[in-house]
Copies of this chain bind each other. A is one copy, B any other.
Amino acid sequence: MANLLTMKLEQFIDFDPGERARLDELLSYPTETYERGKPIIREGAKVPNIYLVLTGLAARSKTLRNGERQIMALLVPGDLCDVEVFVLERMDHDIIALAETTCVLIPAEVLEGLLSEFSKLTKALWWSTMTDSAVLRQWIVGHGARDSREQIAHLMYEMLIRYRIIGQAANDTFPFLLTQEELGDATGITSVHVNRTLQQLRSEGLIDLRNRTLTVLDTDGLRKAAQYESAYLHLTRTERRDEEVSGRAGDLVDPSHRGAVRDTAEKISSLFGSGTS
């Protein structure tokens, strides 16, 4: 399997073969699989491992005393769950599995060792962290200044890009594993209103959501509906149009980029499936 972590970090930094090899080694640590709905890491836990999502979907979430739950970030394959363990003593939120999810458990020392060895990797990890923060900021903007339709459109558009980046959104179709209730927890909207909003997006011909699979029928329309702006994901190399990675999501972050590398979604696996070692 392609190294998803590498595919993600490559959006920012161009690794050499040695570095890639080291990254690949990380994937050889033991994995663990979690059923849908089960916690992967609990708030308050001291965790000795770094969790990397391989398959499925996880979320950062927080539960208030009154039982309300707020999802604060979605973690797709290739994402790290808990870089904070390097510094902060305890998790300040839960990581939960929103679908059957498999993670690699990388001992913290191992990754820490790698980091001091390769400062490039250190930089890449900082990038990943700061990008996470940027996504959080975007999430806040969403809640404060967007209505429900814009919010959900935005979430979908962001997920499309992120699945593209890891090569799993051919034809603008990708796994969308959230229930409407969970979508509500992510956006701060009730599931009833989520439903209303989905109907609307469907009737506008923007999306097709069925069987946990989302197809974006009109990427331009969806971007517009989302008031999407590309900068916050900090896809440095994509924006710079580095050939190696820009085919994945280039047309999404910058429509004018299309044509050049159109319909490359299908080629991604051949391009990168073997390019990670």
Tell whether A231 pairs with B65 under 8 Å between CB atoms, given A87-B126, A93-B137.
Answer: no
* Contact stretch, chosen from A128-136, A175-183, A200-208, A265-273: A128-136
Chain B residues, CB < 8 A from A139? 140
**How many monomers of this protein are in the complex?**
2
Tell whether A144 is near chain B: CB-to-CB under 8 Å.
yes
Chain B residues, CB < 8 A from A185? 144
Which of B92, B134, B140, B236 makes the CB contact (< 8 A) with A134? B92
Which residues 1-56 of A sit at the B interface, judged by CB distance below 8 A? 43-44
Interface size on A, residues (CB 8 A): 46
Tell me if A145 and B188 are in contact (CB < 8 A): yes
Q: Which among A70, A89, A234 has the highest number of chain B CB atoms within 10 Å?
A: A70
Question: Could you jot down 16 A-B contacts, CB within 8 Å?
Answer: A64-B146, A68-B144, A70-B141, A72-B141, A83-B130, A86-B126, A87-B126, A87-B130, A88-B127, A88-B130, A88-B236, A89-B234, A90-B231, A92-B134, A92-B231, A129-B130
* Known interface pairs A72-B141, A144-B187; 10 further A-B residue pairs with C-beta atoms within 8 A, sorted by A's residue number: A70-B141, A70-B145, A73-B137, A84-B130, A86-B126, A88-B130, A89-B236, A92-B137, A92-B234, A140-B143
